[in-house]
A = this chain, B = another copy of it.
Amino acid sequence: MKKIRIGQAGLGRLGKTHAANLAFRVPGAELCAVCSPVAAEIEFAVNELGVEKSYTDFAQMCADPELDAIVIVTPSTEHPEHIRMAMEAGKHVFCEKPLAVTVEECRQVERIVEANPHLVFMLGFMRRYDPSYAYAKRKIEEGAIGTPYLVKAVGVDPDCDAESLLDSGFVPRSGGLFIDMASHDIDLMRWFIGSEVTSVAALGTVVKHMRFAEQGDVETAIAQFTFENGSLGQLHIGRASVSGYDVETEIIGTEGSLRVSPIPAKNRTTILNSAGAVDEWVRNFPERFGQAYIDEMIEFIDCINTGRAPGVNVYDGTNASIVAFAGTRALKTGEIVKIDY
């Protein structure tokens, strides 16, 4: 079977993960080219991953007739333009989230994707491909919990990374906690409930690392949501989880509930010591979602091969962004924000 030939743009931390997966762990994919303005990143791809072609210019890579698909892991602000260039060059596109940094740009990308129905477009909401989240979705579809009507989501980054994040200068240009942290949780909520968010109320606080306040952000936020179909949602996001990377989701239905990683254990080993029975936690998102990053690419390749539409589409990107923006406004104003699409 012919392998799908891929060119990837962006080789930062997450870019390296995607590139290594494409090079080694995704059957049917061949990482043929990379594009980066950073020489060391190109070198990494050539030497460590055996990539043959490299580009410093995104347009040039799109023009490469040998490539079937482009994987975009460039800075968020460049996503819309890169998606447009790649699709206009006739390439299938996988783009890391977020789709764009404004709703207007999200809508523009929708138009581009709609104009190219023969091309696969997939957005990187990789949690949907995590074995446990995928299993939860399947159980819901099988009716295991009846009709879902309440979803609770927790997404908190490890406290031990907070100070270096504050040092990095990223916080003031992150768009705020809601934009930066909540989009995966919002996507999961929409996906599990099967309906769109219609309102959001949010509250925030800074307790531990006061620099979050100095840098114009909050450390912890909670929010509650209504959905078009009458369902409800609760969210807790933050940057100061003492135990490790904390991503938990509960979906409550008329006949039962599902809890995904209620304790995000590092692995299957429990330690019994003088403290008691200790389950260590996953350290960070690469450890927690390592398999999901592989499995979403397997999905992307399979969609290209079969012509099937991927599980995550362009509208998922737009709508998650709309909710994240609304949540940000709710957090800033202290008011309940209604959402129109």
Contact: B149 with A269, CB < 8 Å?
A: no
**Assembly CA distance A336 to B27 (angstroms):** 51
Residues from chain B with Cβ under 8 Å of A334 in the complex: 336
**Assembly CA distance A243 to B261 (angstroms):** 18
Contact: A1 with B276, CB < 8 Å?
A: no
Task: Count copies of this chain in the complex.
Answer: 4
Q: A63: shortest Cβ distance to chain B, in Å?
A: 29
Contact: A242 with B273, CB < 8 Å?
A: yes
Q: A171: shortest Cβ distance to chain B, in Å?
A: 19
Contact: A273 with B220, CB < 8 Å?
A: no
**Assembly CA distance A277 to B269 (angstroms):** 12
Interface 0/1 of A16-36, CB less than 8 Å to B: 000010011111000000000
Interface 0/1 of A243-285, CB less than 8 Å to B: 1100000000011111111111111111111111111110000
Contact: A273 with B144, CB < 8 Å?
A: yes
Contact: A273 with B256, CB < 8 Å?
A: yes
**Does A328 make an interface contact (CB < 8 A)?**
no
Residues from chain B with Cβ under 8 Å of A111 in the complex: none
Most chain B beta-carbon contacts within 10 A, residue among A139, A220, A234, A271: A271
Residues from chain B with Cβ under 8 Å of A260 in the complex: 268-270
Residues from chain B with Cβ under 8 Å of A236 in the complex: 150, 152, 234
**Does A166 make an interface contact (CB < 8 A)?**
no
Q: A200: shortest Cβ distance to chain B, in Å?
A: 10
Residues from chain B with Cβ under 8 Å of A264 in the complex: 268
**Does A205 make an interface contact (CB < 8 A)?**
yes
Q: Which of A74-82, A83-91, A225-233, A303-311 contacts B (4 or more CB under 8 A)?
A: A225-233
Contact: A266 with B271, CB < 8 Å?
A: no
Which A residues are within 8 Å of any B CB, using their own CB? Answer: 1, 20, 23-27, 50, 131-133, 135-136, 139, 144-147, 149-150, 152, 201, 203, 205, 207-208, 220, 222-224, 226, 230-232, 234, 236, 240, 242-244, 254-281, 334-336
